[in-house]
Amino acid sequence: MTKLAATINETVEMSGMSRSAIYRAIKENRIPKRKNGGRTLILVSDLEKFLNSLPAAEA
């Protein structure tokens, strides 16, 4: 079964981004967050959209 949502730690691991960069993107509303009790979740589809919106690296 494919995960639909990820915790912050899982988001960091999946994206390769730092924890602070993830929190910054959330604060800037570039990655929407969900709450389940005290746990913050990121939908995998939202993470993919965010990563796809980043500019391509120059060669």
Say if CB 45 and CB 13 are below 8 A apart. Answer: no
Domain count, the chain: 1
pLDDT value at residue 47:
98
- Other CB atoms within a 10 A radius of the CB of residue 55 amount to 5
Residue 49: inside a domain: yes
Beta-strand runs (E) in 1-59: 5-7, 34-36, 39-43
Residue type, 29: N
pLDDT tens-digit profile, the chain (59 residues): 889 999 999 999 999 999 999 999 999 999 999 999 999 999 999 999 999 999 998 87
Residue 59: inside a domain: no
Range of the domain at 36: 5-53
* CB burial of residue 31 (10 Å; 0-12, 13-18, 19+): buried
